[in-house]
A and B are shown apart, each in its own frame.
Chain A
């Protein structure tokens, strides 16, 4: 038996024994996702059990080095783990910005002490993180950010405001872009710092979204304190780290529109009916559905191709620049089609008849996909300039 085959067998057996039955049901809403933290939101006690077991194996962050809480799995092993989890319908044990965004940045730019300190806590779900990038006057033009960090010897004193900080009200720590110098160009003088949110100088005010949920906040810093040892990379060189992290954020967001098992077209036939030839009885809707499904299929092949090309050393990486733009626009199309197919059932706001308004709220939430992590327009700017080489105005 090959090593990989052995790994598969062992993984299957371990999952079978350790994954609680309750964690083998599909994730229906955000509450089903476990994010960890000092005061974790626990929807079901098994979430904690499952996270602890997976963390002990290093499988909350399977590909990270062992000394930082991972299992040092190869790409192939990681794929097998994902396949075996999918086979029994196992949920991811832990999901967080620490894993998807800060982790990769720290692995690349953090010093040994920072990695030891922060990565292990992310892996075990002990500390929940939020992202302090955007400000009221620095959105798409992020580099014009103004939150000020003053050098006080062993620490920075931070003053200013962030906005759209997702889950700032639930997070324990923040990775934050601050200005340590404003004498150079706007990209210079930005620093990447980490600090504890549990201090008097930090206030958060939740903002309610059109979906009715309050996942993000205004975050105010009034003489907040960040220890110097938690400056990542060099002072004034934070923009490089910020950009590196954004690429990981964009990857995460573009993968959000994974296709469900039963196609929307089949749902539509159940609800609306078909003609004698088996064609959906609403021809215009049918065409929209087919176009969406075609693009989804082809986008899936594109993600696979870019991955395979990178593995074979053939990729220029140009194609990956389309993922954030295309993936989020697709996800918005899918949500619009949900409304078109499910009709009244996708317009409910609350109550059991509408499953708590899930379809409706997901639809509204999807509008943010093409804004968060860099808007679609900004992605198109990046493709035009970096990939096609079109000149600046």
Chain B
């Protein structure tokens, strides 16, 4: 497949850029933060996004989506990254819908996906338990009891936890921490008995929370996929999620970089524009090169998803590792090249580094994915 956007994709990207630049900017994120809003996004703006079909971009038409594929979703996420737009695009559209797509039965998809595609159902994946992403180390347990499963454990970093209506909880039905076999995915309503949702303030000011599951009882029909067999479908969904997050990081990094270059053209010291200093010029030029590389791997990875490539692990880890590296560099240089003003809360450049680190960490950081990339290459 040619590594270019088609006309439909260019239109989608431009439409997303136009809308987000107006409705969901860094200034909006700041306002949400300062209002102490636990939801972390504006439901009105989300409703408008859903009206444009964004909640169903990558969902099949048979389930009420637009069927534009992940390249389309990636383009919107990239623009969301540029504007630091807060919305459930990541939690529900990118992650939860992908998990459902990979694991759920046809009947379950029919029940769940149309609501997501319409922007009405907010669903979020509850996976991580410790300080690091390590799905196979899941300890949360689910025990079969008659027609139910009884779930116990804790989860952290659950995106949009305060506003989600349902969670997909990854729990162990057999085996022990470290085993890939024995993991199951269970749908849990936010108001289920024994479930506590604790909103947690994170550095990026987005909605996030921890779950406490104390003997939460759900019907066996809420199991997505086979009992104990969630790992491979979950892995693929996480590959897709990481590719989508890489797209967000691309937009975020490009924006931080462009703002920084603009500043280099404005700020004067020693009687000259600081952008005339070669020490800064070369660092900017190197970063430009890295961003061009980042753009290529994100597009290649999105296209691999849409082409139905069987094993996404290598390209997903390549995309996430590269984008973690580039985002880290772009946001660090962003602060450094702004000097003191870059350290102030008043300036927007700081918002980029904050969001970047959360996205980098989510579902595996640079170290995790570079390691996985090496393994996928046989060493």
Contacts and interface: CB of A to CB of B under 8 A. Distances in A.
Nearest to A268: B379
Interface in B256-293: 261, 264-265, 272-273, 275-278, 280-282, 284-286, 288-289, 292-293
A243 to B, nearest CB: 19
Interface in A181-234: none
Nearest to A322: B289
A290 B300 contact: no
A265 B265 contact: no
Interface of B is mostly: helix
Nearest to A310: B4
A297 B284 contact: no
B309 interface: no
Given A289-B379, A383-B289, A390 B284 contact: yes
A312 B378 contact: no
Interface residues of A, number: 49
Contacts of A121: none
A280 B379 contact: yes
Contacts of B2: 308, 311-312
A293 B377 contact: yes
Interface of A is mostly: helix
B295 interface: yes
Interface string A14-58: 000000000000000000000000000000000000000000000
B284 A388 contact: yes
B365 to A, nearest CB: 14
A388 B285 contact: yes
B296 interface: yes
B379 A286 contact: yes
Contacts of B278: 381, 384, 393
A291 B292 CA distance: 17
A295 B370 contact: no
Contact of B296 (A301, A380, A390): A301
A322 B284 contact: no
A319 interface: yes
A269 B321 contact: no
A82 to B, nearest CB: 18
Interface string A280-319: 1000001101110111011101101100110110100011
Interface in B281-320: 281-282, 284-286, 288-289, 292-297, 299-300, 318
A263 interface: yes
Contact of A380 (B261, B285, B300, B321): B285
A318 B285 CA distance: 11
A290 B261 CA distance: 30
A389 B265 contact: yes
A237 to B, nearest CB: 29
A301 to B, nearest CB: 4
Contact of A305 (B3, B276, B322, B378): B3
Contacts of A389: 261, 265
B62 interface: no
Contacts of B265: 389-391
Contact of A302 (B273, B292, B321): B292
A287 B375 CA distance: 11
A167 interface: no
A390 B379 contact: no
A5 interface: no
Interface string B230-265: 000000000000000000000000000000010011
22 contacts: A266-B378, A269-B378, A289-B374, A290-B371, A290-B374, A294-B321, A294-B373, A297-B318, A298-B318, A305-B295, A305-B299, A305-B300, A308-B3, A319-B292, A322-B292, A322-B293, A381-B278, A383-B288, A384-B281, A384-B282, A390-B284, A393-B277
Given A302-B292, A322-B293, 17 more contacts: A263-B379, A269-B378, A274-B379, A294-B322, A297-B297, A298-B297, A301-B3, A305-B295, A305-B296, A305-B300, A314-B5, A322-B289, A322-B292, A325-B289, A388-B281, A390-B264, A393-B278
Interface of A: 263, 265-266, 268-269, 274, 277-280, 286-287, 289-291, 293-295, 297-299, 301-302, 304-305, 308-309, 311-312, 314, 318-319, 322, 325-326, 377, 379-381, 383-385, 387-393
Top 6 closest pairs, chain A to chain B, by CB: A265-B379, A384-B281, A383-B285, A305-B3, A301-B296, A322-B289
